[in-house]
Amino acid sequence: MSFIRNILNSRSEEDGNFFLQLKDILGFKPKSKSLYVKAFTHRSMNIKDKKGNAMNYERLEFVGDAMLSSVIAAYLFEQVPHGDEGYLTKMRSKVVSREHLNELGKDLGLIELVQSRIPKSNFGNNIHGNLFEALVGAIYLDRGYKFCEQFIYKRVINPYVDIETLEGKVISYKSLLIEWCQKEKNTFDYNVYEDTGNDELKHFSVKLSINDKVVSKARATSKKKAEEKASKRAFFAFQKQITKLI
């Protein structure tokens, strides 16, 4: 276990307040400190255990994702007895969406606890949600289901989950628009092309056509973002027809 002690010592030297900050976030004292060190260790550190297994937060994300889905599913099952499987699945997706998890990670300031060889300013937005999932996974493995459930209620359900608000929340305008088009038998096409212009970063433009008529245009730094932006504009153009799907 000397490699674990070395990691803990390295962490303590780099950030003496790590476990104090962590205790404030958790609301309880960790038992297995090494799990939480792993939950905030980026793969760029290239740390391995004696068996050659990577010591970073990526596997903990998998556990955290499963625990979030489990606890949120049980909560929705109890709170919305009239909801069928499709409704419950859609509502759970809204709670554990990447956008929402990123917001949770940001609110808790989790990126400040990361140990990485990459400057924090270089991380993408998803780092916040990834860390939140890893933290949930560490809690489950450290203290079990009950502690994990209590943390999710404290940090996710109680402050953020409101059934009526969720029912009106759109996760992906593109998915919603496609669902509506398919239901109404409308044809649709996303014509995406590279559009650098005078920008330093590469940009993409998209023309969204419904029934062979261009209904919206958008431009962004990735194809996915451009399509989502165009879909959002199209959504507001057809809001009355689409709203019933939300």
Contact 208, 215 (CB under 8 A): yes
Contact 19, 28 (CB under 8 A): no
Catalytic entry in 65, 142, 149, 227 = 65
d(C-alpha 78, C-alpha 235), whole Å = 32
Task: Using alpha carbons, select from 5, 14, 9, 7 the residue that is nearest to residue 113.
Answer: 14
Is 167 annotated in the active site?
no
d(C-alpha 49, C-alpha 67), whole Å = 25
Catalytic entry in 133, 142, 149, 227 = 133
Is 195 annotated in the active site?
no
The owner of tokens 């459930």 is: 149
- For residue 160 the two structure tokens come to 């953020």
Contact 91, 166 (CB under 8 A): yes
User: Which residues are the active-site residues?
Assistant: 65, 133
